[in-house]
A and B are shown apart, each in its own frame.
Chain A
């Protein structure tokens, strides 16, 4: 009865966004076909001088980074025992899982021989950061799937496995936090090996810590942003009582991160390249304003923080600024040493957009199908409850 009601109220209605998402998904498939018949050179602007482009800078670095809300919130709820945040844990874990799935699909296109992606399991090189990254992707994707599985078990009415996972939740969450700490920081460690190539505005021995803390900040921004998007899409109330304290956490994380960045730039004597407004300097100013200055200052003001529009706007800036930072590290900061300018090809951009669109579509499907948001927070839910 309840399912039937849900089904009829969310009947598939193709509209503008469905067409856009459909187009992006089909473009993604088309690019994949060309890439596997004619090589990476036919679809990307990658070259011997610039071997890592948008798919690493955006899909990998941002896909993993913006999934950081999952480990942050599971730690807040299950380790710090702040149970009032429990209602937003499930959508956050789902975002995390989709973020990691997004990364894996992107890697399947970006890797030269993706059918060997499992080689890291049998051929070990513990000296390689990429080896650490590979293991973290595999293990943490599994942890996220297990953390999310009770939702699916509940849907199908399997009580025993759901109860088993519930009992194991503490070690599971600790494993997830440890793996995430390693993984978020290891993406920064990837660039420790290129002191002579990465611009001093971004290179620092502290890169692993920069990546870790900025991911926590932007990961919280993502949680706020997706609460807003699901509120718009599913007519839900924005849980301001939960999001406002999260925003305070974001201010602290981004504040610490901003100070660390300034300290690192001071240590590498790179302030000059900001003041002289070089290419790198201008990109840094855009990044730092969006990722640190605006979110921290806006959300430090209580009146703005408690206003849904400002809260969502500032979180959006933090997420954009985070993306700008990862693109600056992986692309802007590497261009001078490579001797070439890299601009992603149209097909590279289509693939990234297609993946984002697919991720959002899967999220929307999952939210409609499974009990992800708590009952009572959706407009339709009370009615359904009564009928059931």
Chain B
């Protein structure tokens, strides 16, 4: 069963308990920054009189998982998109490709790795909620099954239609995400990417990549066919030339 987080910007008081809990849980050095970095996996940003959390959205069909050449990123059945630093060669295609611009890099280290929220995958395995959800004093971030969270979000939209824009961010964005968000102002004003297509970006490349085996066979046969025709024509031309020469001799 896929787990997820529901973040309600209208409830968040901007205390930053979630970011501090995240730092502690993941042993991240330094103070909490005002933007995501390799050392700040979640942060609260004041926007339009609201407070909005930034964190990995844990896509249902994650772009980063599809682009990683060494499968260092994987989507676990429980929901989290996790990162295996021991595989990563540092090509940074995940950073390039992520529609939410979440994975960050250790630019200051000679042996760098990617840093991003893992939805506390190890805690989830032990049946515990994420550290951020546990730390939140006002239930602005709640943890639960994604399906249940969608019902909860719909209930809030239905019961207080005036307090929200009528949209659950993450329901369909980039194919849907495990993290869902509610807000009283349009999401692009909170610095979130609006108008992301519901089709996961990963499908666009798979349409090309899945054709490679067929393509290789057909292309190789075509190329050999060209070679066969041109070589055959040369052979025939040679025989003709010889034949013509002998013919000429006969006549003389």
What is the interface of chain A, defined by CB distance below 8 A to chain B?
35-42, 46-49, 51-52, 75, 78-81, 111-114, 116-117, 119-120, 123-134, 170, 174-175, 177-178, 181-182, 189-190, 192-197, 205, 208
The CA-CA distance from A41 to B38 in the complex, in Å, is 13
Chain A interface: which of B44-52, B108-116, B179-187?
A: B108-116
The reply to whether A123 and B87 contact each other, CB–CB distance below 8 Å, is yes
**Contact partner, A113, options B99, B111, B220, B224, Cβ 8 Å:** B111
The CA-CA distance from A189 to B68 in the complex, in Å, is 14
* B238 at the A interface (CB under 8 A): no
| Closest A residue to B90 using CB positions | A112
The reply to whether A51 and B92 contact each other, CB–CB distance below 8 Å, is yes
The reply to whether B108 and A39 contact each other, CB–CB distance below 8 Å, is yes
The reply to whether B36 and A130 contact each other, CB–CB distance below 8 Å, is no
A residues within 8 A CB of B113?
112-113
Provide a sorted-by-A list of 9 A–B residue pairs whose CB atoms are within 8 angstroms.
A35-B110, A41-B108, A119-B70, A130-B93, A174-B223, A178-B220, A182-B212, A189-B209, A195-B204
The reply to whether A128 and B36 contact each other, CB–CB distance below 8 Å, is no
The reply to whether B112 and A113 contact each other, CB–CB distance below 8 Å, is yes
The reply to whether A196 and B99 contact each other, CB–CB distance below 8 Å, is yes
The CA-CA distance from A125 to B101 in the complex, in Å, is 21
* B138 at the A interface (CB under 8 A): no
* B165 at the A interface (CB under 8 A): no
CB-CB under 8 A for A174 and B227, given A112-B105, A194-B96, A194-B201: yes
| Closest A residue to B112 using CB positions | A112
A residues within 8 A CB of B109?
39
The reply to whether B88 and A51 contact each other, CB–CB distance below 8 Å, is no
**A-B CB pair tally, cutoff 8 Å:** 168
Using C-beta atoms within 8 Å of the partner chain, give the interface range for chain B: 35 or more
**Contact partner, A132, options B101, B106, B197, B212, Cβ 8 Å:** B212
| Closest B residue to A175 using CB positions | B220
The CA-CA distance from A178 to B224 in the complex, in Å, is 11
Q: How far is the CB of A118 from chain B (nearest CB, A)?
A: 9
Q: How far is the CB of A307 from chain B (nearest CB, A)?
A: 31
The reply to whether B208 and A192 contact each other, CB–CB distance below 8 Å, is yes
The reply to whether B230 and A48 contact each other, CB–CB distance below 8 Å, is no
**Contact partner, A193, options B69, B97, B193, B195, Cβ 8 Å:** B97
Q: How far is the CB of A56 from chain B (nearest CB, A)?
A: 9
* B63 at the A interface (CB under 8 A): yes
The CA-CA distance from A124 to B72 in the complex, in Å, is 10
**Contact partner, A79, options B87, B104, B223, Cβ 8 Å:** B223
The CA-CA distance from A170 to B99 in the complex, in Å, is 44
CB-CB under 8 A for A178 and B219, given A124-B71, A134-B69: yes
Closest 9 CB pairs of A and B: A112-B90, A41-B107, A81-B230, A130-B69, A116-B89, A123-B70, A51-B95, A131-B69, A125-B71
* B205 at the A interface (CB under 8 A): yes
* B172 at the A interface (CB under 8 A): no
**Contact partner, B204, options A119, A132, A205, Cβ 8 Å:** A205
The CA-CA distance from A205 to B101 in the complex, in Å, is 22
The reply to whether A80 and B110 contact each other, CB–CB distance below 8 Å, is no
The reply to whether A193 and B89 contact each other, CB–CB distance below 8 Å, is no
Q: How far is the CB of B124 from chain A (nearest CB, A)?
A: 24
Q: How far is the CB of B44 from chain A (nearest CB, A)?
A: 18
CB-CB under 8 A for A51 and B105, given A120-B70, A130-B68, A182-B216: yes
Q: How far is the CB of B41 from chain A (nearest CB, A)?
A: 13
| Closest A residue to B208 using CB positions | A189
Question: Which of A81, A124, A134, A170 gathers the greatest number of chain B CB atoms within 10 Å?
Answer: A81
